[in-house]
């Protein structure tokens, strides 16, 4: 029964773990485990994860390593645009003066309330899930990956070690531990401009969120930075996937946040949001 609960929670079965990774080209920790020790470790990870997931909110907030942003304080796109529409319109006009505008979407006020853009630290968001732009090992790295692991604490890495990595374009779920977010959805973006793989990253994350009955999710800019995916091209993929998903599944999510870090990314999203989520 416990193993079944662990599997539903996202942890791999013991018999799968014991197979090791001898056929994998990825670099994982040694897979020579004592069955009794591994069983105990498996149970401990599951129990720790459940402790954080079931902890009263006020008690968990005492564990956060810094200030946090409540879900109710994240401004939806509809309000963001209304408050700053003169600047955004002028910025949009300047941005597209030498570019063609393709694939404009119809106004949908309900969808506009379900998306948000912001600039800052994704680890501060008190949402159901934040997405980690991870590497194939899922064992932490630089950028947002390292920031998420540091903020979540060492238990996140312990759970990630049980997942045996992640293929590019796929996604896996863990607890959020000491993060304000309940969960972390780890996805591995492509290196370079590979739209189908990047599209898959966003789709898989949305599918996991819906499958776990989450209501809010925050994305970083996947594959930009050291993975060298052009910023605008990556944003186009992200926005198209989310717009299409929300049209097809209007009841699945209450809020999808695009959390940028660089000022250039924020500008790109502010402009492209006006194409994918136009206002009346």
The CATH number of the domain covering residues in 2-276: 3.40.220.10
Q: How much is the pLDDT for 38?
A: 61
pLDDT at 29 > cutoff 50: no
Contact 133, 13 (CB under 8 A): no
Ordered DSSP codes for 182-204: SEEEEEEPPSSS-HHHHHHHHHH
Residue 160 DSSP SS3? helix
Distance (Å, whole) CA 46 – CA 25: 28
pLDDT tens for residues 255-279?
A: 999 999 999 999 999 999 999 999 9
State residue 41's pLDDT score.
83
Is the confidence at residue 44, as pLDDT, over 50? yes
- Per-domain residue ranges of the chain: 2-276
| Whole-angstrom distance, CA of residue 118 vs CA of residue 80 | 9
Which of 102-111, 125-134, 209-218 is predicted with the least confidence, judged by mean pLDDT? 102-111
């Amino acid at each position: 029964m416990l193993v079944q609960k662990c599997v539903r929670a996202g942890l791999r079965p013991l018999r799968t773990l014991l197979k090791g990774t001898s056929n994998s080209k990825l670099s994982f920790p040694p897979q020579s485990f004592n069955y009794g020790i591994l069983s105990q470790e498996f149970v401990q990870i599951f129990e720790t994860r459940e402790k954080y997931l079931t902890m009263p909110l006020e008690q968990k907030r005492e564990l956060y390593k810094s200030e946090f942003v409540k879900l109710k304080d994240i401004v939806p796109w509809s309000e963001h645009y209304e408050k700053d529409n003169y600047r955004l319109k002028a910025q949009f006009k300047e941005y597209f003066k030498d570019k063609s505008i393709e694939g404009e979407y119809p106004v949908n006020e309900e969808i506009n309330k379900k998306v948000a853009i912001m600039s800052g630290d994704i680890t501060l968001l008190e949402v159901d899930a934040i997405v980690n732009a991870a590497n194939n090992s899922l064992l932490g790295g630089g950028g947002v990956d390292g920031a998420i692991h540091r903020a979540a604490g060492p238990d996140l890495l312990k759970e990630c070690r049980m997942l045996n990595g992640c293929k590019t374009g796929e996604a896996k779920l863990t607890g959020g531990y000491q993060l304000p977010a309940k969960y972390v959805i780890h996805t591995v973006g492509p290196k370079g401009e590979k739209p189908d793989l990047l599209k898959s990253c966003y789709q898989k994350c949305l599918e996991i969120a819906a499958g776990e009955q989450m209501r809010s999710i925050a994305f970083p800019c996947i594959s930009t930075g050291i993975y060298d995916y052009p910023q605008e091209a990556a944003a186009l993929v992200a926005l198209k996937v989310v717009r299409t998903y929300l049209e097809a599944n209007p009841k699945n999510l209450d809020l999808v946040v695009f959390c940028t870090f660089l000022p250039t990314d924020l500008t790109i999203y502010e402009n492209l949001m006006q194409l994918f989520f136009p206002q009346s």
